[in-house]
Structure 1
Amino acid sequence: MKVPNNLQIYLAAGSALLQTAQAATCNLKPSYSAPVVSNGWQAQLAATGLSSPRGIIFDSSGNLLVVQQGAGIIHLEFDDGGSTCLDVSKKTYLINSTSLNHGIALSADGKTLYASSSDTVYSWSYDASAVSVGDTNQTLITGMSNDDHTTRTLLMSAKESGILVVSRGSNSNIDLAAEDITTGHSQIRAFNVTNLTSISQPYDFKSAGRLLGWGLRNSVGVAEEPLTGGIYSVENSADGIDRDGVDIHQNNPGEEMNYHGFLNASTENQGGNYGYPYCFALWNTSIPDLGTMTVGSQFTLTQNATINDTFCAKERVSPRLTFQAHMAPLDIIFLPNGTEAFVTFHGSWDRTEPVGYKLSTIAFASGSPVAASDSLTAAVDIMANADTSKCPNQCFRPVGLALDSKDRVFMSSDATGEIYVLAKTVASATTSATTTGTGASPTTTKKSAGVKLKALSSTWAQLAWAVVALL
């Protein structure tokens, strides 16, 4: 008996829907208190059991590449049940390396993979369809070895073809060598890697490339604003400081968001000194002898005739935004429409009450933050640990960020070996934030499940009528 075309269609649709419903179980739960998710968002664990995941990026096939610090790079494929419902369907060990520790980037065509150790940036040919890299790698940039702050963040420009941005932090908490521009300490530079075959020998970080900024203590997060192409970084500032002999380390200095101009021919807002190791951004203004300084003003630790608050204000570049001291921002990424930047705050160790340990969003418009430079509330929390007093041992610690083609936010947590996925919902902005076993909004989760079941029953109802028609 010949099966009608419409029945074939219903059978195929029903089978596909059943496979989708069955493929992703979305039942991973954290071993610590479930995160608190803000109104309008839901979150779910998508991967666990990883080894200190740091930088993450999606390849041209829509699969996730993850740098495991001290282990190498893995490739994750997901079964996608929609929204935040994803399960890892396949894990592939792409590069085994104990030296790779954080940075990762892909060329515009997706065929070249970049990753970094504490000293060196490497490249491999990459085939997203075959899930494979070339047998050999090429050394592109070297000369970045440090005793401290060993991550080397990588950013491939989407605006300027073949331009790779590299960030290098300081050699210690207060690294006086960073005052000397020739050391390459505490700098962000851009390198042209358009034609790898023409690079006869590796670039030396401290003397090659284009200087985007220096005096940047440890700018781990670097991003390109998608509308204008402006380069922004988020900086981890100093620990354990005092000012003129008075301990002010609990709430100062603030963490920074800095702006570094464009990667085109313009040099406006580029190549300046952002203060470190002598000048820092003010967060808490309740310290003596500040005068009229406000949040974000540059101040120095020890006043003398040469280095003082006036020098810092006039000769150093102030941040676009300043965040609570010691939250440790580690990544920044923009929505494609340029309206929001997401920032991970890894969390503090240098204050009595822990801060950070959360993912936040910052409103942008026309290529710049909406909030004023002295704002205390520019960063709005999306997902946070339920009880930071239990951090760092019993909470997630955000590191890397990546957006997929649906603008879902993927976030790595190195301390817990996890990947979270977050998605916007249609939840009312007036509804109170909720906590569940997975960090998802219960109302949204049930609604999503109800939609799937309704679609499933509808498909099989049509199938049943088609079978009756055959009788």
Structure 2
Amino acid sequence: MGHLTTLTGVVVLASMLIPEAAAQSCSGVTGRYQPKMGSGYRSSVLATGLRQPRHIVVDSAGNLLVAEGGSQGVRRLVLQDNGNIVCVQSNTQIVSGSTNHGIALSADGKTLFTSNLASVTAYSYDAATGQVGTGKQIVTGMSFQGTHPTRAITTSKWSPDTILVARGSQSNIDTSTTQQSAARSMIKSFSISQGLQTAHNYNTGGEVLAWGLRNIVGMTEDPIYGGFWSVENQMDDLRLNGRDIHTDNPAERLSYHGVLNATTNRYKGLNYGYPSCVPAWDPQNVGISGLLVGGLFKPDGVPNVAADECANSRMTGRLHFHAHTAPLDIKFNKNSTSAYIAFHGSWNRNPADGYRVTRVDFQDGQPVHGVTSKTAQIPVMENSNIGGCPNSCFRPVGLDFDQKGRLFVSSDTSGEIYVIYGA
């Protein structure tokens, strides 16, 4: 796989919205939607006509690599500055037919990783030319039967030989994941160098970083403090004692997993409760005395646990978010003062919620807000008409920063890449 195939018939350059100024754009094209931007931010549409763009990564030369869904492969967008906006100089396919969601680069930028529902594949990669080598599977065994086919992946700069792979549940309530041996609803770490020699089997290999996590679709590492973080999509159609409480429960979750290369990591291997215990977003609606935001409780239809297990024996998140907003990615800015989160949006609540990018402020490696806060999110980029979602709006999926501090955002349903300035 060393050739480049140029995409034809796809529009890749688009307009930008600049408050209180004449609109500027790259040559030729306007995006489908006009986002509402938070204070201090502005945006442009970098690319349109893509095929379900999912996670994205900026390479060491400043090019944007995009994993397209449905086994469409990886596209390389070579970028150039045009005044105070960024445009696409060329758009080529560099990997075909092997991805459905995940993409990552090694710490030195010379190896490209992609994931599909069954495996993780590594390619040698030249950021200057876009050339890739022949793919080699380094993690296998993740067969898919159910509703969560994404396999989020990321690498570590603090532990450069490590790749992290998340595998979600195979159903809304996956009862077998009460046992680690199910090898689902967890994050595992694997040695890259060993995988290049002999592929790891996800079911039996690697180390469990965290489990009891229903569906992790976004993971990242703090560039300054080294902490590893994940965002989780929690359970749908929740009931408690026969009562429907699903509109505002359970909470989506931001979880902390320690520093990967630490000599002692007390967070390593912790169980976060799924499928038996879920976190509250609206404790009053749950109706359990003393329950706080993020507190774990046992709903109907899940495997039985001891009376105090949810409260005392399972790890909860560091921050929590509105039910069913579906966080799919998280990235820190370069000085780790903020983490940005892409919320793909709800299908399991009415009215709809999500469909936005928000910011969470950090200090000394941890969120400024406390665990029970409901006000930690700061608006960055939202749909002007959320009533048009999910079919007639942008739906954020992947995030990544370039060295100039520009934040790139993919929208799978609209086939677009946005750029946020001021992040």
TM-score (structure 2 length as normaliser): 0.90
Which of the numbers 402, 406, 417 marks the counterpart of 2:404? 406
Q: Deviations over 1:61-95 (max 9, x none)?
A: 11011001120001001231244x22222111101
Q: Determine if contact 2:245/2:286 at 8 Å carries over to the other structure.
A: no
CA distance in 2, matches of 1:259, 1:180: 21
Shift, 1:258, TM fit: 0.7
2: CA distance, partners of 1:174 / 1:75: 38
Give the Cα separation in 2 of the matches to 1:169 and 1:370.
29
Cα shift at 1:267: 2.6
Partner of 1:458: none
How many Å apart are 1:302 and its aligned residue? 3.6
Query: Cα–Cα, structure 1 residues 90 and 306, in superposed 2: closer, same or farther, change >3 Å?
Result: closer
CA contact 1:302–1:308 (8 Å) conserved in 2? no
1:275 corresponds to: 273
1:28 deviation in Å? Answer: 3.7
Which residue number in structure 2 is paired with residue 137 of structure 1?
135
- Out of 249, 252, 255, the position equivalent to 1:252 is 249
Report whether the alignment pairs 1:94 with 2:99. Answer: no
Q: Please state if 1:187 is matched with 2:186.
A: yes
Show the counterpart of 1:202. Answer: 199
Q: What's the C-alpha RMSD, in Å, of the aligned pairs?
A: 1.8
Matched residue of 2:125: which SS?
Answer: strand
CA deviation after TM superposition for structure 1 residue 336, in Å = 1.7
How many angstroms does 1:319 deviate by? 0.7
CA deviation after TM superposition for structure 1 residue 130, in Å: 1.9
Per the alignment, residue 214 of structure 1 pairs with 211
Which residue does the alignment assign to 2:332? 334
Count of aligned residue pairs for this structure pair: 397
Q: Deviations over 1:219-268 (max 9, x none)?
A: 11101112221111000001111011100010000100011112113231
Match of 2:160 in 1: 161
The equivalent of 1:53 in structure 2 is: 53
Q: Which has the higher strand share?
A: 2
Q: Which amino acid aligns with 1:191?
A: F
Question: Which residue number corresponds to residue 389 of structure 2?
Answer: 391
SS at match of 1:331: strand
Q: Post-superposition shift, 1:308? A: 5.7
Residue correspondence of structure 1 range 102-141 to structure 2 within 5 A: 102-134=101-133, 136-141=134-139
Given that 2:275 and 2:303 are in contact with CA atoms closer than 8 Å, whether structure 1 keeps it comes out as no
Identity percentage of aligned residues: 41
Q: Is the 8 A contact 1:244 1:303 kept in 2?
A: no
Q: Identify which of structures 1 and 2 has the higher relative contact order when contacts are C-alpha pairs closer than 8 Å and 6+ apart.
A: 1
Q: Which of these residues, 346, 354, 359, is aligned with residue 344 of structure 2?
A: 346
What amino acid sits opposite 2:182 in the alignment?
A: T
SS at match of 1:380: strand
Contact 2:280/2:286 (<8 A) preserved: no
* Corresponding residue of 1:243: 240
The residue aligned with 1:381 is 379
User: What's the secondary structure of 1:194's corresponding residue?
Assistant: helix
Which whole-Å CA distance do the structure 1 matches of 2:73 and 2:169 have between them?
24
Runs of 4+ in 1 over 3 A off after TM superposition: 194-197, 302-306
CA distance in structure 2 between the aligned counterparts of 1:25 and 1:306, rounded to whole angstroms: 57
Q: What 5-or-longer segments of structure 1 have no aligned partner? A: 1-22, 426-471
- Aligned-partner Cα distance in 2 for 1:251–1:195: 44
Determine which structure has more spread, i.e. the larger CA radius of gyration.
1
Aligned partners of 1:189, 1:259: CA distance in 2, in Å? 14
Change (3 A) 1:43 1:103: same
Take 2:238 and 2:112, find their aligned partners in 1: how far apart are those partners?
39
Query: What is the CA–CA distance in structure 1 between the aligned matches of 2:29 and 2:362, rounded to whole Å?
Result: 33
CA contact (8 A) 2:251 2:320 kept: yes
Cα offset, 1:286, TM superposition: 2.3
Distance in 2 of aligned mates of 1:28 and 1:366: 42
* 1:166-198 Cα shifts (integer Å, max 9, x gaps): 11110011111111110101010111113655x
Query: Aligned with 2:310: secondary structure?
Result: helix
1:76 maps to 2:77: yes
Aligned to 1:443: none
Deviation for aligned residue 1:303: 9.7
Gaps of 5+ in 2: 1-23
Shift of 1:27: 5.9
Separation (CA, whole Å) in 2 of partners of 1:151 and 1:303: 25
Asked if the contact 1:299–1:308 (Cα under 8 Å) also holds between the matched residues in 2, the reply is no
Letter aligned with residue 87 of structure 1? C
